[in-house]
């Protein structure tokens, strides 16, 4: 796209003049709050099965990418909060027609997943599972690549590799029952006679292992799903054992997120049935499957993922507290629970807040923005950035529907709310061609253009009800947009012929969590042909992702203001000793003290899990200081710096100070809402 046209298009989309549009910096989710603290999740888009390592002062991260190509992203950070996508370890994995969406076959929810990231003796290693294939081993001396792929001779489910200090290389793997073996020198096979069951099915070590040797002891962390999701750990003085299992080092943390819509049968059944989630379900989406890392300053941090409804799995960063030799996720006084907002890790090189990649793409070439991934292996002869400079051109390949269409280009949707907009030129489309903008998920939905024998037709399709809304289209160029709210899980499609005036098309679409793709919702550009006749081309002039809430739903902390608080889910005021009006005092690092008259709201610890709450005269200290944080819905949580527990409005109206954290139940009372009092003080 020419720069002038791009400025005009973006200006029209934003409702501003071209000069103003050019000066408008894109806004996107940042974990770094810019005040010495960070917010979870690290990325508000799907990043599942994370594995994280430190090499010197640098941190590296990878995760699952399933059927998306390129795969196995390699991200770099100096502070564990701000990440940059450096490369992908895998450009394409073409192991048969199912990897190419050919002959009626597919690898949705399969492909490459649960990687183990390691660094040893100058080489980076990624070991990763592939359904129906052996485990794949990727190596590079530079994390930017190039990466070399070597198929192993064995298939190891959710493996984790440990390079021991005596030269031995160990691997653990398994689902429910966990196995241990030694790898040979080629790292392609198990040494005969070394495999054994490390933990039986009832031991509580599940899957998603992360294997470490720390201070001469061996540790394994593992996800466990029986009853509720949580992170377990095991330890031993010798790799042969005996092993001691601790069933919970992280449990029940969802930051108050409530269970959203689900697809019956996890989306694997032919019929699509979407059901509402249980808003009071507890433990079904909690943080799990992760590991630990130590900074050069000696701090320990944990990383893990949580199921976050239709947006997919989100990666979170947790301070780690060692107690009795176990690495608990959480802070002293509130082990196993992770603060949504906390102080950034101490690192040698502080990083300015930045996002890992740029979501927008003007298709100016010579390469696609690195945020893009193809749905399955693409046909490189059927797409181009050079045939029509400034445009992405998709040659329509034969397909029955969007689900089976090849060369669909995708990127992760971003929460809590985001909109994707593209400009489609349908002039090159031929009869039977369909092209447009989609939400790749199960169910999926799209808005686009179909070329029929009678001309162009604008359509919006909803797989949930297998229904298409159609209207004639006179102009060949059309702007397409979808607006997604991942808190209500509702999406709305709209269309414009000038990029300024929009009209909705189709009914609201309900997004849902499912396991058929094992991914969250993705924005997708697509083009295919249903007629079997010679097909045409679809040209896309831009892709823009707008985020109306790039800081989440967080509101600025009302420093210096007098506020009144109340329980978020019920009409119960926050009152202590009859006082309901508190002035918010800035304590730095996003922390506050609450003052009424000459007294501060004060927490006094009584034990590791109990405390008292009262109004106290005197200067504010840790007992009078609270980390101001919010649930994913924007409700306030106040965590005592003295106890790391939260204030809570009890059902009887009493305010307590021993809550573990916000629960999915909206009536819990830990989630608070505030309003300005009648006058400041």
Q: What is the mean pLDDT of residues 244-268?
A: 95
25 pLDDT more than 60: no
Q: Among 24-38, 465-479, 547-561, 591-605, which stretch is predicted with the lowest mean pLDDT?
A: 24-38
3-state secondary structure 387-421: CCCCCEEEECEECCCHHHCCCCEEEECCCCEEEEE
Handedness of CA 667, 669, 675, 679 (dihedral sign): positive
| Residues present in the chain in total | 681
Q: What is the mean pLDDT of residues 301-316?
A: 98
Query: Which neighbouring-strand residues pair with 437?
Result: 447, 525
Helix ranges (H only) for 145-249 are none
248 pLDDT more than 50: yes
Q: Which CATH superfamily does the domain covering 46-343 fall into?
A: Glycosyl hydrolase domain; family 43 (2.115.10.20)
What CA–CA distance (Å, rounded) separates 317 from 309?
19
Burial of 121 (0-12, 13-18, 19+ CB in 10 A): exposed
pLDDT of residue 191: 98
pLDDT of residue 519: 97
557 pLDDT more than 80: yes
Task: List, for residues 622-645, the tens digit of each pLDDT value.
Answer: 999 999 999 999 999 999 999 999
Choose between 15 and 172: higher pLDDT: 172
Choose between 350 and 470: higher pLDDT: 470
pLDDT of residue 679: 58
Choose between 19 and 120: higher pLDDT: 120
CATH 2.60.120.200 fits 358-550, yes or no: yes
- The ranges assigned to domains in the chain are 46-343, 358-550, 555-676
49 pLDDT more than 80: yes
33 pLDDT more than 80: yes
Task: List, for residues 164-209, the tens digit of each pLDDT value.
Answer: 999 999 999 999 899 999 999 999 999 999 999 999 998 999 899 9
670 pLDDT more than 80: yes
Average pLDDT, the chain: 94
pLDDT of residue 281: 87
| Percent of the residues in the chain that have a pLDDT greater than 70, as a whole number | 96
Q: Among 314-323, 342-351, 414-423, 557-566, which stretch is predicted with the lowest mean pLDDT?
A: 342-351
Which H helix or E strand runs over 62? strand 58-62
pLDDT of residue 27: 86
pLDDT of residue 24: 39
Residue 22: band (very low, low, confident or very high) from pLDDT cuts 50, 70, 90: very low
Task: List, for residues 567-599, the tens digit of each pLDDT value.
Answer: 998 989 999 999 999 999 999 999 999 999 999
Choose between 472 and 678: higher pLDDT: 472
Tokens of 420: 């994707």
pLDDT of residue 225: 87
478 pLDDT more than 60: yes
CA-nearest of 145, 27, 26, 29 to 81 is 29
75 pLDDT more than 60: yes
Indicate the class that CATH gives domain 555-676.
Answer: mainly beta
pTM: 0.95
Phi, psi for residue 22 in degrees, rounded to 5 = -65, -25
pLDDT of residue 350: 80
Residue 3: band (very low, low, confident or very high) from pLDDT cuts 50, 70, 90: very low
Task: List, for residues 134-174, the tens digit of each pLDDT value.
Answer: 999 999 999 999 999 999 999 999 999 999 999 999 999 99
What CA–CA distance (Å, rounded) separates 124 from 272?
42
pLDDT of residue 479: 98
């Amino acid at each position: 796209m020419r720069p002038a046209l791009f400025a005009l298009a973006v200006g029209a989309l934003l409702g501003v003049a071209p000069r103003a549009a050019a000066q408008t910096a894109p806004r996107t989710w940042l974990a770094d709050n810019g005040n010495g603290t960070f917010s979870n999740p690290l990325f508000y888009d799907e990043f599942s099965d994370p594995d994280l390592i430190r090499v010197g002062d640098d941190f590296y991260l990878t995760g699952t990418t399933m059927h998306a190509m390129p795969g196995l992203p390699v991200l770099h950070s100096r502070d564990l909060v701000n990440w940059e996508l450096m490369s992908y370890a895998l450009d394409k994995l073409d192991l048969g027609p199912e990897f190419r969406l050919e002959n009626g076959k597919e690898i949705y929810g399969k492909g490459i997943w649960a990687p183990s990231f390691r660094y040893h003796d100058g080489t980076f290693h990624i070991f990763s599972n592939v359904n129906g294939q052996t485990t794949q081993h990727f190596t590079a001396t530079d994390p930017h690549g190039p990466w070399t792929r070597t198929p192993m001779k064995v298939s190891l489910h959710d493996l984790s590799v440990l390079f021991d200090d005596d030269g031995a290389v160990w691997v653990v793997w398994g689902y429910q029952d966990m196995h241990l073996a030694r790898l040979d020198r080629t790292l392609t096979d198990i040494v005969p006679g070394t495999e054994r069951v490390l933990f039986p099915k009832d031991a509580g070590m599940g899957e998603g292992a992360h294997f470490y040797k720390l201070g001469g002891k061996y540790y394994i962390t593992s996800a466990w799903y029986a009853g509720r999701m949580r992170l377990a750990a095991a330890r031993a003085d010798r790799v042969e054992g005996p092993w001691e299992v601790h069933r919970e080092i992280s449990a029940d943390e969802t930051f108050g997120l409530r269970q959203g819509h689900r697809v019956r049968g996890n989306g694997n059944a032919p019929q699509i049935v979407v059901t509402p989630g249980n808003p009071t379900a507890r433990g079904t989406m909690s943080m799990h499957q992760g590991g630990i890392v130590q900074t050069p300053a000696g701090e320990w941090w944990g990383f893990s993922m949580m199921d976050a409804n239709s947006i997919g799995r989100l990666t979170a960063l947790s301070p780690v507290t060692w107690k009795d030799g176990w690495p608990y996720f959480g802070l002293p006084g509130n082990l196993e629970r992770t603060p949504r907002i906390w102080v950034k890790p101490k690192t040698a090189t502080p990083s300015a807040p930045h996002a890992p990649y740029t979501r927008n793409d003007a298709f100016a070439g010579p390469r696609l923005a690195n945020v893009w991934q193809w749905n399955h292996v693409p046909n490189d002869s059927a797409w181009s950035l050079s045939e029509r400079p400034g445009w992405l051109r998709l040659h329509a390949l034969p397909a029955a529907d969007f689900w089976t269409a090849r060369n669909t280009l995708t990127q992760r949707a971003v929460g809590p709310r985001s909109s994707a907009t593209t400009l489609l030129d349908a002039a090159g489309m031929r009869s039977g061609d369909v092209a447009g903008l989609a939400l790749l998920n199960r169910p999926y939905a799209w808005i686009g253009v179909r070329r029929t024998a009678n001309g162009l037709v604008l359509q919006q399709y909803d797989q949930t009800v297998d229904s298409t809304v159609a209207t004639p289209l006179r102009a060949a160029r059309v702007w397409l947009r979808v607006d997604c709210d991942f808190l209500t899980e509702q999406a709305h499609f709209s269309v414009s012929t000038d990029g300024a005036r929009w009209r909705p098309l189709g009914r609201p679409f309900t997004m849902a969590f499912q396991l058929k793709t094992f991914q969250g919702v993705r924005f997708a550009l697509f083009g295919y042909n249903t007629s079997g006749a010679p097909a045409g081309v679809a040209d896309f002039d831009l892709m823009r992702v707008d985020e109306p809430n790039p800081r989440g739903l967080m509101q600025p902390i009302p420093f210096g203001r007098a506020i009144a608080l109340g329980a978020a889910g019920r009409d119960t005021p926050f009152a202590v000793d009859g006082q309901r009006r508190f002035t918010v005092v800035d304590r730095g690092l996003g922390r506050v003290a609450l003052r009424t008259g000459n007294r501060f709201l004060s927490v006094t610890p009584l034990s590791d899990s109990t405390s008292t709450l009262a109004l106290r005269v005197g200067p504010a200290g840790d007992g009078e200081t609270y980390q101001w944080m919010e649930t994913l819905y924007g409700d306030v949580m106040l965590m005592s710096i003295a106890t790391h527990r939260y204030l809570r409005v009890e059902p009887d109206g009493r305010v307590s100070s021993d809550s573990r954290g916000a629960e999915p139940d909206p009536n819990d009372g830990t989630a608070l809402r505030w309003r300005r009092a009648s006058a400041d003080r």
